[in-house]
Structure 1
């Protein structure tokens, strides 16, 4: 007897699984998750579907990664823990949220001189739908919407999209396209220019 994989690929035969090391199992799970997150997005991907794709028990996925959110972060290889950063920005209060968020992204980008997973994901998202899905879902689902909700502000998804448009535009212009003046502008100067716009998206009432 055989069952079809979730994506309609060749039937997967049931039977005794070959013995593999914990490291190999973890890598298999991560590869399966990366494929499903890229294809389906964060919301439609489940621990069970990842386990089925990797041909492992769902409990093993939880053993290695703890939650779907942590599995997603392992796939994206984001250079900071979003839960920790959300808590830190929220603790500073709404008034300074725009400045803190811009500073966070600039410090992250500049730490590796632009050679880090965020920039790599932005670069590949320009031409690859899978990378586009991963970048969008991480910014919206794991970082910006939860941060805005921490301040109990309405229109979280819309505000998250507007904030992301500024951060991604800044990242592309400063690190990918390298506009001369912007690419060499000191971080504190960039923050003074950009943070007020981000802050407006956080705090100003809906104009409608």
Structure 2
């Protein structure tokens, strides 16, 4: 069972998210919060697998809450709930170690897929926001493409192969099946890749792979 905490200052949004997640028998909403401070406290109390955070909330916004959650409940994957026009928050969210972005107006199936991907240790970007995330990340680093290629080139052939699949949004289980490996071996590869690339999570690793041209 995937345990989820939903944090949004709009009660209707929380109710809608809860209703969508309730359609999946493998997902349980264990708590809700209306602001970032309560989200952090609820996460400490309930230890969810995934936290859905609205970017803009009172008391403590979602970005600050994500940074605090990384310290307080590092086992919880954080997915940011965003809307169009909030691109300026993307880089800070990535630095906070978020597992991905979901568009509030997106397909409900994306919400379920995102929660399952995050719980499985994978990154997830809503298709409609993915290109904006990549552009926001790379435009500020357009001069860093060569450095990105150099960092990726330092990986072994197998590590680059795994990184390319991570960048494609595949989970550890899917990568293991694709490469005929044990899932535990894939987890070890991913952990080593994050360390060697000096990135916090799979989203940052995927973006670095895009910047380096590893994804074609």
TM-score when scaled to structure 2?
0.25
If each structure's strand is expressed as a fraction of its own residues, which one has the higher value?
2
Structure of greater relative contact order (alpha carbons < 8 Å, 6+ residues apart) = 1
If each structure's helix is expressed as a fraction of its own residues, which one has the higher value?
1
Larger radius of gyration: 1
